[in-house]
Amino acid sequence: MRAISVIKREHRNLHAVLFTLEHLVLEIEKSDKAVDFVVFHGIVYYLDSFLDRYHHPKETDYLFPAVKSRCPQAKEIIDALGYQHAQGEKLLVKLLKSLSAYEFLGPQGFQGFRQAVTEYVQFEREHARTEEREVLPLAEAHLTSADWQRIDTVFADNQDPIFGRKPQAEFRELFRLLGNVVPAPYGLGPELRPDN
Ligand SMILES: [Fe+2]
Ligand SMILES: [Fe+2]
């Protein structure tokens, strides 16, 4: 059942990045400092690399089918969560487009960007919470040790581009930038540092 703690840890990492994103947007509302678009693009790049290409596929391909086959009553919620993985990708594209508009238009593009960030953050937060509240307890109760052997192997392969065993160089820099914005416990604290 090591996969359960890996999923929870990955959700914690995600929450720290989402919190930082929200915080950066609030800062823009409160001050007239120049906006650092590179940081926003770094966050979008991270969310695409981590959430959509790394975390969600492991759930879709391994955890969800196992829970569905052992607990037929979970079919509806698992199907909804699988659908949300695709919806989340679309919301990230929407966020990226609103970021481009903001960058090009200047302050008049801010409201659209702010709305896209709020929508995305709320959506992904709720998605992760639903998994922890509804799916992980079912998995813990019903999956067999053979199921866990397979799933744990996949989740133990810790290639998280920023928090994994070998964080990619470009994400080290992003982590440093984000860590300066919001420190732990809400943002990226030392326990989440890439080289830990
Ligand atoms: Fe998910
Ligand atoms: Fe998840």
Q: How far is the CA of 15 from the centre of ligand 2 (A)?
A: 11
The highest-confidence range among 11-25, 94-108, 179-193, by mean pLDDT, is: 94-108
CB within 5 A of ion ligand 1: which residues?
Answer: 59
Closest CA to 51 of 62, 60, 41: 60
Q: Which two tokens stand for residue 60?
A: 């879709």
Considering every ligand atom shown, identify the ligand nearest to the alpha carbon of residue 82 and give its number.
1
The structure's pTM equals 0.87
Question: 32 alpha carbon to ligand 1 midpoint, in Å?
Answer: 36
Q: Which tens digits make up the pLDDT trace of 135-165?
A: 999 999 999 999 999 999 888 866 666 555 5
Distance from C-alpha of 20 to C-alpha of 187, rounded to nearest angstrom: 6
Dist. CA 66 → ligand 2 center (Å): 15
Spans of all domains in the chain: 2-189
Q: Are 193 and 175 in contact (CB under 8 A)?
A: yes
Residue-level pLDDT at 195: 45
Query: Would you say domain 2-189 falls under CATH 3.30.70.340?
Result: no
Write down the residue that tokens 């770094």 correspond to: 42
Residue 184 alpha carbon to ligand 2 centre in Å:
21
C-beta separation of 26 from 121 below 8 A: no
